[in-house]
């Protein structure tokens, strides 16, 4: 008997093989170290979520991530994050979109050729193929082995009413675990934000991801996005949940005209020069009650940006929540 343990089955009686339900020392010793397929952004052997409002560019961001993975080691996502390894395969499941529109997006991002027989590293299933199989389907689990699986959007893979069934999210979490257990290199899922997020000027797990309880707990990381300028498609990005790494600060990417011209987003504001969402929101998105608040909003924004620069100068690696806490402390003082 292992030291410190007592039998609960009676004097001297031990269930056969009971120790086998726990990891052995050798399993820990031989386990691989933590790794990322995209350093500082996408961790291996876990689930990452991209949360944002409908129409704010989630699918375009997902296509951009897929492009970086398919480009392989040495490539960079948004000229900010290094791709650390070559992808065996990307499996993209998008039951919210039919074949023709998604073909157009694949062509925009210059990854359409990865579908071809002489490549085959990209597998896609859209609405046009019929109802999406459950994620626990043996065919899906087989395709997921060694692959990066992209779910667009996550809520479409649960059963029942996505707006009313809390157990829907618990079932989705279990299905994501099944994908990872089958050998998926990572699971990347787009997820809708609640409508109230349109009025928020702070990003956190609870307000960016709809029904985040069961899903949020099992994520390795999550990123919130919010479109600040629909004409140029400027998207503000913040990490809302890191696990086992220190995320970069907020940053922004811009889509137009760069997706049309170059096949991808371009970095618009680097971490360190980009403020939090509260600082970066344009005046017309500040949810003001009257137009007379415009000058006050601009002055407040300038003050917050100056304060943020002081924070980041003292501590360059501050996370989103730490920045929010500092602003809160300053407002009370």
Look up the CATH number of the domain holding residue 223: 3.40.50.300
Q: What percent of the chain has pLDDT over 70?
A: 81
Question: 19 is written with which tokens?
Answer: 């120790």
pLDDT in tens, 162-172: 454 455 677 78
pLDDT at 157: 81
Positions of E strands within the chain: 36-38, 42-43, 47-52, 76-77, 81-82, 90-94, 122-126, 148-151, 186-192, 221-229, 234-241, 251-254, 266-269
pLDDT in tens, 124-135: 999 999 988 899
0.85 exceeded by pTM:
no
Domain limits for position 229:
34-332
Residue 120 belongs to some domain of the structure: yes
pLDDT at 217: 81
Number of domains in the chain: 1
Residue 300 belongs to some domain of the structure: yes
pLDDT in tens, 20-44: 999 999 999 998 899 999 999 999 9
Residue 1 belongs to some domain of the structure: no
Computed over every residue of the chain, the mean pLDDT equals: 86
């Amino acid at each position: 008997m292992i030291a410190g343990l007592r039998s609960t089955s009676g004097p001297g009686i031990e269930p056969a093989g009971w120790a086998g339900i726990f990891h052995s020392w050798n399993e820990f010793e031989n386990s691989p170290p933590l790794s990322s397929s995209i350093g500082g952004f996408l961790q291996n052997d876990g689930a990452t979520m991209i949360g944002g409002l409908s129409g704010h560019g989630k699918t375009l961001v997902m296509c951009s991530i897929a492009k970086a993975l398919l480009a392989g080691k040495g490539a960079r996502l948004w000229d900010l994050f290094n791709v650390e390894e070559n992808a065996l395969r990307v499996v993209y499941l998008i039951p919210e979109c039919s074949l023709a529109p998604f073909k157009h997006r694949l062509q925009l991002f210059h990854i359409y050729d990865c579908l071809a027989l002489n490549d085959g590293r990209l597998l896609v299933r859209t609405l046009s193929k019929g109802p999406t199989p459950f994620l626990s389907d043996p065919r899906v689990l087989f395709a997921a082995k060694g692959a990066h699986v992209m779910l667009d959007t996550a809520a479409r893979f649960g059963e029942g009413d996505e707006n009313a069934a809390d157990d829907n999210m618990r079932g989705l979490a279990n299905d994501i675990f099944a994908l990872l257990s089958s050998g998926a290199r990572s699971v990347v899922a787009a997820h809708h934000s609640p409508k109230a997020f349109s009025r928020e000027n702070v990003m956190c797990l609870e307000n960016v991801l709809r029904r985040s309880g069961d899903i949020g707990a099992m994520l390795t990381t999550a990123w919130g996005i919010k479109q600040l300028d629909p004409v140029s498609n400027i998207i503000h990005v913040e990490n809302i949940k890191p696990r086992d790494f220190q995320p970069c600060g907020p940053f922004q990417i811009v889509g137009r005209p760069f997706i049309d011209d170059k096949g991808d987003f371009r970095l618009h504001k680097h971490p360190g020069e980009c403020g939090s969402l509260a600082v970066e929101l344009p005046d017309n998105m500040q949810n003001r009650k009257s137009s007379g608040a415009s000058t006050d909003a601009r002055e407040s924004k300038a003050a917050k940006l100056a304060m943020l620069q002081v924070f980041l100068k003292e501590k360059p690696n501050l996370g989103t929540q730490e920045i929010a806490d500092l602003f809160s402390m300053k407002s009370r003082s």
